[in-house]
Amino acid sequence: MAEREALRPSPFKAFYAMTYRQLVRFLAAKSRIVNSIVFPLIWFVFFGIGWSAAFKPLGPMARMIFEGLNYLEFLAPGVIVMTTFMGGFTSGLGVLWDREFGYLKEILVAPASRPAVILGRIFGDSLTVLIQGAIMTFLLAAFLGYTNPVGIALVLLVAWISSLASAALGTTIALSMRSPEGFHMIVNLLMLPMLFLSGAFFPIKPLPDWMKALAYINPLTYSVELARTVMYNVYSIPPLYSVAGLAASTGILLAVVVRKYSKTYIA
Amino acid sequence: MGEYVIEARDLRKVYPGGIEAVKGVSFRVRRGEIYGFLGPNGAGKTTTLGMLTTVIKPTSGTAIVAGYDVTRNPVEVRARIGVVFQDPTIDRDLTAWQNMYIHGLIHGVPRSVLEKRIPELLRMVGLEKFMHTRLRYYSGGMIRRLEIARALINTPEVLFLDEPTIGLDPQARAKVWEVIRSLKKQGVTVFLTTHYMDEADKLCDRIAIIDHGRIIAEGTPEELKSMVGGDIIYIRVVGDGASFARSLAERGWKTRTLSDGLIAISVRDAPRALPEIMMEAARRRLQIVEVRYVRPSLDDVFLHLTGRSLRDSETEGWKEIARMMVRRRMR
């Protein structure tokens, strides 16, 4: 037998293969779309309308609390980001199921570039999450009578980048876990504080210092800030800082997951 | 290119928690042969296969697979092997075609080749009709065959099969065996693990018998069986079996009393030895209640080497599998 040059996939092809897989899986399970937007929608409707009603006696004074917006306007960008952030985070759980059902081995035993594989997977997940985010955005825009197309396009961009960051974070955590049960515990311990400290539901500025400090190391804060900036041109953190914060946190989280995945063995 | 496709030297794996699954195994697999790891469940077969296929990191020792070191050059190894793990590693939400397409892409097979090769391979394993069926509707045997077909997409030098027919019904097993034999004809080297002695006997050119993480014998099925030394006579008597067995041993026959009182005697030629044995029993006034002889099977080899039957270990294994299934259901 002659020496044969073994086939090796280009990183691009491996990336494409994993994106393809995530998209096909998503289309095969359409019920997930409904699932992933119901929770944020409930939040928006009950929390949003509830507090709006509570603030009503204040009249226009309420706008002073919420950076010049009414509470629903204040809440909407946060809920959009929350949709994609949560969607991205839970998509990380996928690698845990892959371990459980053996598919992780199928990937690990391929000669493909690990960074390309995991980034392709995260990218594919982020696209499916973007679809969910877009549905949410259109629903909220219709509800609020928001019509600025640039604002909608930019808020989706922010929400998409935010989902990359959260998918990277969720995947990193999932790779360190052995059971889905453990993952759910971490989700609750980590995701809820991150959501509450992101400025999505209440402004960060008046918070006590220790909470404020936590908010500023929370990557989600920058996404929420930017989402509000691109939709309504209001902000409590200078937009340039938010861009830097979002870019840096996303970059770091992606680098961490690539490193983690490259070192993954079955045992 | 060398004669050996796999060369393992003193491979060892200690899992976190201190369980030493593989206690240093060394062996070589020749190009084009079917090489089998035969042993009971928990003997270290799957762990060894995991190390050879780069998904399990050896604690110590080395292995060269298809010319590359599994720890230093894992990617080069992965590019030259195909693997079918013991548990399915498929995406049930995707169709057979989609599973194979993704596998092909991450193994660097050009898309134009895939378009041709996927239907070809599915035809080889008799699944072309179900090419676009989602795998959640496949039976266990179909999944196995699909996985073998999938592992061949990148025309590997070595195909690794971990318990290729575990849990399959006889018909599905026969089909998988047929596929494996046809691979040998195509010149693919096959490394398989199994705890079925008939599978090892019928399929493998050479076999390593592994027990408690160590290789205890290696050779062709014939060589291994000749270790037992000809035929085995089983005899059961009423009365003092122990001293009867001792007297037989004094005549130079390897004798062993099994857990249920059956006496196993290794002889060169059973038809000639039987009269003598029966006369000895008569002299001792022992009533013979059962006597038969067999040509040795690999199970006898295992028994000969370990004092345990592979079949006993096998039922243990099945209990473990049943437990695993229940656990999986419960999720």
- Three-state helix/strand/coil letters over chain A: CCCCCCCCCCHHHHHHHHHHHHHHHHHHCCHHHHHHHHHHHHHHHHHHHHHHHHHHHHCCHHHHHCCCCCHHHHHHHHHHHHHHHHHHHHHCHHHHHHHHCCHHHHHHCCCCCHHHHHHHHHHHHHHHHHHHHHHHHHHHHHHHCCCCHHHHHHHHHHHHHHHHHHHHHHHHHHHHCCCHHHHHHHHHHHHHHHHHCCCCCCCCCCCCHHHHHHHHCCHHHHHHHHHHHHHHCCCCCCHHHHHHHHHHHHHHHHHHHHHHHHCCCCC
Residue A155 and residue A80 in contact, taking contact as beta carbons nearer than 8 Å: yes
Chain A residue with minimum CA distance to B3: A1
Q: Which amino acid is at B304?
A: H
CA–CA min distance B88, chain A (Å) = 6
Residue B78 and residue A265 in contact, taking contact as beta carbons nearer than 8 Å: no
Residue B78 and residue A109 in contact, taking contact as beta carbons nearer than 8 Å: yes
CA–CA min distance A98, chain B (Å) = 8
Nearest CA-CA partner of A194 in A72, A78, A34, A51: A78
Closest Cβ–Cβ partner in A9, A100, A104 for B106: A9
What is the pLDDT, as a whole number, of residue B331? 41
What is the pLDDT, as a whole number, of residue B329? 47
B-chain residues near A4 (CB < 8 A): 157
Residue B85 and residue A105: Cβ atoms within 8 Å? yes
Residue B106 and residue A14: Cβ atoms within 8 Å? yes
Residue A103 and residue B89: Cβ atoms within 8 Å? yes
What is the pLDDT, as a whole number, of residue B330? 44
Structural domain contains residue A144: yes
Query: Could you say which residues of chain B have pLDDT below 70?
Result: 1, 311-331
Number of residues that make up chain B: 331
Structural domain contains residue A177: yes
Q: B307: which DSSP letter?
A: S
Q: Which residues of B6-29 are buried (b: 16+ CB within 10 A; e: fewer)?
A: bbbeebbbeeeeeeebbebbebbb
What is the pLDDT, as a whole number, of residue B159? 96
Helical pair A71-91 and A93-100, crossing angle rounded to 10 deg: 20
Q: Are strands B4-14 and B158-162 parallel, antiparallel or unpaired?
A: unpaired
A-chain residues near B108 (CB < 8 A): 7-10, 13, 111-112
SS3 A182: helix
Domain that holds residue A63: 11-262
Give dist(CA B74, CA A102) in Å, integer: 19
Write out the H or E segment, with its range, that includes residue B82: strand B81-84
Residue B106 and residue A24: Cβ atoms within 8 Å? no
Domain(s) labelled CATH 3.30.70.1150 in chain B stretch across 230-295
Residue A17 and residue B78: Cβ atoms within 8 Å? no
Nearest CA-CA partner of B226 in B234, B217, B235, B216: B217
Q: What number of C-beta contacts closer than 8 Å exist between A and B? A: 112
What ipTM describes this predicted complex?
Answer: 0.85
Write out the H or E segment, with its range, that includes residue B12: strand B4-14
What is the pLDDT, as a whole number, of residue B35? 97
Structural domain contains residue A151: yes
Structural domain contains residue A236: yes
Closest Cβ–Cβ partner in A2, A117, A267 for B106: A117
Domains contained in chain A, number: 1
Chain A residue with minimum CA distance to B70: A109
Residue B210 and residue B8 in contact, taking contact as beta carbons nearer than 8 Å: no
Q: Which amino acid is at A189?
A: L
For an interface test with A, give the residue of B47, B107, B152 to mutate (most A CBs within 10 A): B107
Nearest CA-CA partner of B35 in B21, B52, B23, B22: B52
> A interface toward B at CB cutoff 8 Å?
1-4, 6-10, 13-14, 16-18, 20-21, 24-25, 28-29, 100-112, 117, 265-267
Q: Which fold has domain B230-295?
A: Alpha-Beta Plaits (3.30.70)
B233: which strand partners? B265, B293
Residue A265 and residue B57: Cβ atoms within 8 Å? yes
Residue B141 C-alpha from the chain's centroid: 17
> B interface toward A at CB cutoff 8 Å?
1, 13, 15, 31, 47, 50, 53-57, 66, 75-76, 78-81, 83, 85, 87-94, 98, 101-103, 105-109, 134, 154, 157, 187, 331
What is the pLDDT, as a whole number, of residue B325? 55
User: What CA–CA distances, in Å, run from B164 to B173, B241, B259?
Assistant: 8, 41, 31
B-chain residues near A100 (CB < 8 A): 331
Chain B residue with minimum CA distance to A102: B89
Residue A21 and residue B94: Cβ atoms within 8 Å? yes
Residue B105 and residue A1: Cβ atoms within 8 Å? no
Closest Cβ–Cβ partner in B101, B108, B331 for A8: B108
Query: Could you say which residues of chain A have pLDDT below 50?
Result: 1-3
